[in-house]
């Protein structure tokens, strides 16, 4: 049995199982690290003897270098209480091998393994909600690089008639600052989910997201893009984004007609990806070719 944790800014999902059809899940609201970790461990306790590995897909920034003494440490995250928290401490208390990656990479792996990324060798996963993030599979493997990508913060042109200054505390009008859920709320004065489909907010949202996505696609050349997150549940937005992306790229890069697909795993993409991380960790420790008969 594998265990997974999807750590988000608003809530955590913790689960045990082996995949989408064999999964027990619990939702835990994100509070300070101590009570949150206690709730996670309490829920996992009855399964602990059977758990062979844990995967964690977490908000960041995160230290992912396993050779670093700071492995698993959360950096200057927007959730101030969580800065300096170490995932290694939870792993130690649970006492099982633990794999860690970003929430976006976790979701990318989840979609690759069980969702709309299946079969892709070069996959991009993007999420637009409270924040904007991207995870990628390159040459069949999770792209981590040094530390990890922070794709939500790419810079994009400004729509000339848009006076909104952006809401990213670090960059102001980066993509996340202009097109995340809080940016929609800040620009239009009410939450994204209260903006009706005919509201001009959505045309502008497609305008910005298409330019951010263009930058990701031009840099990574994914064969498929899976998009998730609360904002993208807006009816018609994915279609508008697809059309705007093609207009922006102007035929310079040939795109397959079904490049963009919605997330198949929805809110559970990161949790399932965490199970995938745990599975990969076990496979790396115990390669099939070295297993006994």
Report residue 252: phi and psi, to 5°: -65, -40
Q: How far is the CB of 221 from a second copy (least distance, A)?
A: 3
Candidates 66, 196, 235, 250; binder of a second copy (CB under 8 A) is 250
- Residues 159/39, Cβ–Cβ less than 8 Å: no
Is 162 one of the binding residues for a second copy (CB under 8 A)?
no
Candidates 139, 161, 257, 289; binder of a second copy (CB under 8 A) is 139
Is 141 one of the binding residues for a second copy (CB under 8 A)?
yes
DSSP 172: B
Give me the helices (H) in 61-180, please: 87-94, 103-114, 175-179
Q: For residues 24 and 17, give the distance between their C-alpha atoms in angstroms, rounded to a whole number.
A: 6
DSSP 32: -
Q: How far is the CB of 73 from a second copy (least distance, A)?
A: 12
Is 150 one of the binding residues for a second copy (CB under 8 A)?
yes
Candidates 221, 243, 283, 284; binder of a second copy (CB under 8 A) is 221
The region of 135-143, 179-187, 194-202, 226-234 touching a second copy under the rule CB under 8 A is 135-143
For the chain, the farthest-separated pair of C-alpha atoms sits apart, in whole angstroms, at 67
Candidates 26, 79, 86, 171; binder of a second copy (CB under 8 A) is 171
Provide the 10 A C-beta neighbour count for residue 257: 7
Is 274 one of the binding residues for a second copy (CB under 8 A)?
no
Candidates 81, 83, 122, 199; binder of a second copy (CB under 8 A) is 122
11 vs 141, beta carbon nearer a second copy? 141
Is 251 one of the binding residues for a second copy (CB under 8 A)?
yes
**Angle at the Cα of 137 (from 258 to 14), degrees rounded to 5?**
100
Q: For residues 25 and 16, give the distance between their C-alpha atoms in angstroms, rounded to a whole number.
A: 7
> Cis peptide leading into 61, omega within 30 of 0?
yes
Q: What are the C-alpha distances in Å from 58 to residues 189, 198, 246, 270, 288?
A: 30, 35, 32, 8, 28
The region of 3-11, 152-160, 192-200, 281-289 touching a second copy under the rule CB under 8 A is 152-160
Q: For residues 237 and 122, give the distance between their C-alpha atoms in angstroms, rounded to a whole number.
A: 24
123 vs 271, beta carbon nearer a second copy? 123
Report residue 232: phi and psi, to 5°: -75, 0
How many residues form the binding site for a second copy (CB under 8 A)?
Answer: 45
Is 145 one of the binding residues for a second copy (CB under 8 A)?
yes
Is 246 one of the binding residues for a second copy (CB under 8 A)?
no
Query: Bridge partners of 4?
Result: 15, 55
Is 202 one of the binding residues for a second copy (CB under 8 A)?
no
Contact residues for a second copy (CB under 8 A)? 61, 75-76, 122, 134, 136, 138-139, 141, 143-151, 153-158, 170-171, 173, 211, 214-216, 218-223, 248-254, 256
């Amino acid at each position: 049995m594998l265990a997974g944790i999807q750590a988000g800014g608003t809530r955590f999902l913790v689960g045990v199982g082996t995949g989408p059809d064999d999964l027990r899940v619990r939702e835990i609201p994100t509070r300070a690290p101590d009570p949150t970790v206690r709730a996670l461990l309490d829920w996992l306790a009855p399964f602990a003897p059977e758990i062979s590995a844990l995967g964690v897909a977490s908000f960041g920034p995160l230290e992912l270098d396993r050779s670093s003494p700071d492995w698993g440490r959360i950096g200057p995250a927007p959730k101030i209480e969580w800065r300096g928290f170490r995932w290694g401490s939870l792993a130690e208390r649970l006492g099982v091998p633990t794999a860690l990656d970003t929430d976006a990479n976790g979701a990318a792996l989840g979609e690759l393994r069980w969702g709309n990324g299946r079969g892709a060798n070069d996959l991009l996963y993007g999420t637009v909600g409270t924040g904007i993030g991207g995870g990628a599979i390159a040459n069949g493997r999770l792209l981590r690089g040094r530390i990890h990508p922070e794709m939500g913060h790419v810079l994009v042109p400004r729509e000339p008639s848009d006076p909104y200054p952006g809401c990213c505390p670090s960059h102001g009008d980066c993509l996340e600052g202009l097109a995340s859920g809080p940016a929609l709320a800040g620009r239009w004065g009410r939450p994204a989910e209260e903006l009706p489909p005919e509201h001009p907010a959505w045309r502008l949202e497609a305008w910005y997201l298409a330019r951010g996505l263009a930058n990701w696609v031009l840099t990574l050349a994914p064969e498929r893009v899976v998009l998730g997150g609360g904002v993208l549940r807006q009816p018609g937005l994915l279609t508008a984004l697809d059309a705007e992306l093609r207009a922006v790229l102007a035929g310079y890069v040939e795109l397959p007609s079904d490049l963009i697909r919605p997330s198949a795993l929805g809110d559970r993409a990161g949790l399932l990806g965490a199970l995938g991380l745990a599975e990969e960790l076990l496979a790396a420790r115990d390669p099939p070719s070295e297993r006994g008969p």
